[in-house]
Amino acid sequence: MNKGTGKKPKPFVSGLLLAAGSSSRLGRTKQLERLDGVALVSRAAAALAGAGVHEVVAVVGHRAADVVDALGEKTAKVVMNREYKSGLSSSLRKGVEALDVRSEAVVVCLADQPFVNSELIDRIIDRFVETGAEAVAAGSGDLVSPPVLLSRKLYGKISKLTGDKGAKSVALAEPTFQKVEVNEDMLLDVDTEEALIKAKRLLAGTASTATGRAADTPARRRPSSGK
């Protein structure tokens, strides 16, 4: 605790952007798809860079040179994952291994969620600080989605992941897990042509608002299925 202030020092929180996949469902590299003239990977990197993180690490793999070009100067460190075809877990492991030794928690973001913004990332970090939870993620009703924050205590579990298991699987297994509620559209992931069309519609404002302050307010919970 800082003398004279009564406040705890802010923890060193890392930002990790996973951008290595080959986008098999979309059929082309989704990280490089553009919304309003900006590549998805660049939008995601900007959201992390604008949030209260102490570092940003990006993991690339498929079409790495093009993805790095699209990232520009928004990331402090770029990590190459040559094993990206083995699944999401390989990129997550590579990224965590590259974090600063001072890292006390990591916020994991995906390159294909164009409406995740800095405000949401900060809300997740704030929940971690306020509650002491070891895992925090975004969600809407029954949906749980990246961004996902995991404390340093869970880094060992990340090292044991295989295949397409990601940060969410670790978070959901954590007893202290907390969820930050948002509008479901905010968590849209662009992994199909239909999702890309929806994202363009949302950005143009022809569907429910998914950007700005309105999207960063708690959403109404969907009725529980009882399961």
Name the residue ranges covered by the structural domains of the chain.
13-215
- Answer whether 154's CB lies under 8 Å from 118's CB: no
**pLDDT surpassing 80 at residue 164:** yes
- C-alpha closest to that of 103 among 60, 158, 174: 158
Percent of the chain exceeding pLDDT 70 equals 86
pLDDT tens digits, 190-200: 988 999 999 99
Contact call for residues 209 and 217 (beta carbons, < 8 A)? no
Q: Does 226 have pLDDT greater than 60?
A: no
Residues contacting residue 38 through CB under 8 Å, at least 6 positions apart: none
Question: What is the model's pTM?
Answer: 0.85
Report the C-alpha gap between 219 and 139 in whole angstroms: 9
Consecutive H or E run containing 140: strand 135-140
| Structure confidence at residue 7 (pLDDT) | 60
Per residue in 176-194, pLDDT (tens digit) is: 999 999 999 999 999 889 9
Q: What's the CATH code, domain 13-215?
A: 3.90.550.10
Peptide bond into 147 cis (omega under 30): yes
